[in-house]
Amino acid sequence: MRIMLVHPAGSNWVPGKKDITSTANRMAPLGLLSIAAYLKRSGHQVFIHDCLGPEAPQDIDENVRAVLAADPELVGFSTTTSSFLDGNDMAKLFKQIRPQVKTVFGGVHVSALGGALLQDFPNIDYLSPGEGEVTLSELAAGLDPAAIDSLIWRDGERIVTNAPRAPLPDLDQLPFPDYEGLKGFPRSYNLPLFSFIAFPGATMSTSRGCPYERSYCDRSVFKRSYRYNSPEYIYEHMKHLRQRFGVRHINIYDDLFTLNRPRIFELCRLLTANPLGIQFNCAVRVGHADNDLLKTLKAAGCLMVSVGIESADPAMLERHKAGVTLDQVRDTVARIKACGLRAKGLFMMGLPGETEASIQATSDFVMSLGLDDMNMSKFTPFPGAPVWSTLLEEGTFQEDWKLMNCLNFVFVPKAIESKEKLNYLYNSHVKRFYSDKAWRRNFARRLWQHRWSIYHLLRHLPSFLAAKRNFEPRKAPDAKGQ
């Protein structure tokens, strides 16, 4: 079967402004590439269209024409909450031009909301919640929809939700993602600026699922199972990226990359004994990163380690990230830096229960840690997260799917007077961090290491200057949020 897999663009990062998110950080759609590789191994002809890719047109009509030019029989969409409506708009145009083309949607939004989407979106033929490799392979093979686990489909006017599919037991049985099918990879898929030294870069995921439950995390796709690739598989995957594509830096986007210590020590042994000429970034869990682990990561080529912190308010931590204390955070960050690794803190503003005092406490705490980098995301509630059910009791919520991308505040906690005030507090904190003299001195000492990032920044300077203005705190809004 001829299959086109589509990664929809999603919404603008700030309404009314030029979207520069892919200019600053264009990530390969790994989930889609994994499905593409699995379908190709099953004998299907597969094409990939990334609407955020370097060669993709901006106009939705042109994207539709580009997809239909491949003459697909089945078009699959991998969507987030913010990109779902763009995908549906494309599906609507497909049906107008070629009604015989079947459409199937998967991804986190589909996994969270399920069959209700088929009721409201008639241009979608099938939904594939959870892991999509086997489900799409069976659908493409022509199996009776009733026999395909996890598939959600129409039987006349009736919407049928099949029994869930058991998680793939052995991730090592999956082929490497289909990077070859992605136009412009890897040189046009840039990692976050100044987060790497060597170029080009790529991203990788080495596990699926998470045994922990955070109030804000959507576990709809992989549930609470936790499965991971073996050290040997990861090493061969990295080797494939190095030899086939010349990749020299990899960002590993596992929340729990170091959870299984023997796995990481063996991977690092392989990387140390047989170096690939690759550096990498990864995340560690607060309180579970001893010096032996950190030194081993450093020796294997790790450049920067991220630590999920979220908030410096003890009550907020207890509610949203139980088991993490501020003393543990301080200790973990200090030891990361002592071992010669860069430390990046991951925070979230606007969670239920947030106050101006908790925001100030978090900002002060961030500044005290001496971090090399920081990411403060805007809390976005997603349908599959535990906190979803109590949102309306906690504040005001604007359920606009296109804005639900962690780049816009769609939820305002009760104690914050307005969205305008929340944005002001956010912008003030971001400017405070990157204006800090100690941070700037540290950054300046390393600047020449980041020659490619500097080149990329200068090449797109007007876009970055326009984006910078979005983070300039205007005067504080008054009590009415004006």
Ordered by start, the domain boundaries in the chain are 2-161, 191-470
Q: How far is CA 394 from CA 136, 359, 406, 414, in A?
A: 39, 17, 18, 6
At residue 384's C-alpha, the angle toward residues 397 and 374, to 5°, is 75
Residue pointed to by tokens 């106050």:
355
Taking a C-beta distance cutoff of 8 angstroms, is the pair 12, 23 a contact? no
Distance CA 43, CA 57 (A): 29
Token pair for 61: 């009509």
User: Model pTM?
Assistant: 0.92
Taking a C-beta distance cutoff of 8 angstroms, is the pair 191, 249 a contact? yes
Residue pointed to by tokens 């264009």:
26
Tell me the backbone φ, ψ of residue 300, rounded to 5 degrees.
-85, -5
Per-residue pLDDT of the chain (482 residues; tens, 9 = 90+): 999 999 999 866 666 666 677 778 899 999 999 999 999 999 999 999 999 999 888 889 999 999 999 999 999 999 999 999 999 999 999 999 999 999 999 999 999 899 999 999 999 999 999 999 999 999 999 999 999 999 999 999 999 999 999 999 999 999 999 999 999 999 999 999 999 999 999 999 999 977 655 554 555 554 557 899 999 999 999 999 999 999 999 999 998 899 899 999 999 999 999 999 999 999 998 988 999 999 999 999 999 999 999 999 999 988 888 778 999 999 999 999 999 999 999 999 999 999 999 999 999 999 999 999 999 999 999 887 788 888 889 999 999 999 999 889 999 999 999 999 999 999 999 999 999 999 999 999 999 999 999 998 898 888 778 777 766 776 666 655 55
Q: Which fold has domain 2-161?
A: Rossmann fold (3.40.50)
Q: What is the CATH architecture of 191-470?
A: Alpha-Beta Horseshoe (3.80)
**Helix residue ranges, H only, 17-79:** 21-24, 30-41, 60-68
Taking a C-beta distance cutoff of 8 angstroms, is the pair 127, 108 a contact? no
DSSP 3-state assignment of 473?
A: coil
